[in-house]
């Protein structure tokens, strides 16, 4: 047995405490008259924005935006099939990135005291610099696992030399790139009544496939 091609897979995973939370809230109002409905939505959204600006200045928010404003009208129907008078609606969607879980909990409790404000999402994640550093470390670890696994196979066959021929993300060696790695799994949270939020751990994983020549 002079040469053998060994194909293996290497995996690695680590957990890192989330550093920031992306939160989205929607201010929604409705009523029989368009002007007051729009005005109330603007006033409530301005109040929410003022809170975000304060947290931005204190360093507890890294960025925020007011991405979408919608105004529309419709005529609802009652149970008897009769069309009711026109109802006007207005909504403003705001998003922010919090870097402090305590500040986020306090802010959510404050803004949701109003029935006009709904929390639509809270997504925990890593800061960009941390994500890049951890993904590189996990990917390198996955490659090392593949190398060690190939070496173990070669040793079992009585071969001493192992040389890498190909290394790729999972699936790419077989031309099925649907499992690209490394992968970061973000944590989503539904805001509860108490809004006592704690940053969860983010799972960062990597899977690679490799072909090695053993002699």
pLDDT value of position 193 = 43
The whole model's pTM is what? 0.76
* Together in a domain, 53 and 103: yes
Residue 209 maps to a domain? yes
Residue 37 maps to a domain? yes
Identify the band that residue 198 occupies on the pLDDT scale cut at 50, 70 and 90.
confident
Asked whether the beta carbons of 142 and 10 are under 8 A apart, the reply is yes
Residue 81 maps to a domain? no
**Structural domain containing residue 98:** 20-76+86-125
* Together in a domain, 159 and 143: yes
CATH of the domain at 172: 3.30.110
Q: How do residues 76-119 score in pLDDT, each as one tens digit?
A: 888 888 888 999 999 999 999 999 999 999 999 889 888 899 99
Residue 160 maps to a domain? yes
- Contacts of residue 206, defined as CB under 8 A and 6 or more positions apart, other chains included, come to 11, 12, 13, 135, 138, 139, 141, 142, 181, 182, 183
- Taking the mean position of all CA atoms in its chain, how far away is CA 128? 12
Task: Provide φ and ψ at 167, rounded to 5°.
Answer: -135, 130
pLDDT value of position 12 = 94
* Together in a domain, 27 and 9: no
Q: Is the pLDDT of residue 179 over 50?
A: no
* Together in a domain, 140 and 121: no
pLDDT value of position 186 = 53
Among 5-19, 118-132, 170-184, 199-213, whose mean pLDDT is lowest? 170-184
* Residue 86: C-alpha distances to residues 83, 91, 97, 204 (Å): 9, 17, 37, 51
Distance between CA atoms of 186 and 18, rounded to whole angstroms?
Answer: 9
pLDDT value of position 182 = 59
What tokens appear for 49 in the block? 């924005």
Q: How do residues 28-78 score in pLDDT, each as one tens digit?
A: 999 999 999 999 999 999 999 999 999 999 999 999 998 788 999 998 888
Identify the band that residue 176 occupies on the pLDDT scale cut at 50, 70 and 90.
low
Q: How do residues 131-159 score in pLDDT, each as one tens digit?
A: 999 999 999 999 999 999 999 999 999 99
Q: Which residues pair with 207 in a beta bridge?
A: 11
């Amino acid at each position: 047995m002079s040469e053998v091609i060994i194909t293996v897979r290497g995996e690695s995973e680590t957990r890192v405490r989330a550093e920031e939370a992306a939160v989205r809230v929607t201010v929604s109002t409705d009523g029989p008259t368009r002007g007051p409905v729009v005005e109330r939505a603007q006033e409530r959204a301005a109040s929410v924005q003022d809170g975000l600006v304060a947290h931005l200045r204190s360093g507890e928010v890294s960025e925020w935006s007011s991405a979408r404003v919608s105004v529309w009208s419709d005529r609802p129907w009652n149970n008897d099939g009769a069309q009711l008078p026109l109802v006007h609606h207005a909504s403003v969607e705001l998003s922010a990135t919090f870097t402090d879980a305590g500040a986020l909990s306090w802010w959510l409790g404050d803004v949701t005291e109003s029935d006009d404000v709904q929390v639509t999402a809270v997504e925990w994640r890593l800061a960009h610099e941390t994500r890049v550093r951890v993904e590189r470390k996990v990917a390198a670890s996955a490659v090392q696992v593949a190398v060690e696994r190939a070496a173990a196979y070669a040793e079992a066959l009585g071969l001493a030399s192992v040389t890498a021929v190909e290394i790729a993300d999972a699936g790419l060696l077989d031309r099925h790139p649907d499992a690209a790695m490394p992968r970061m799994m973000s944590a989503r949270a539904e805001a509860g009544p108490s809004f006592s939020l704690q940053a969860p751990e983010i799972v960062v994983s990597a899977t690679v496939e490799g072909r090695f020549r053993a002699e």
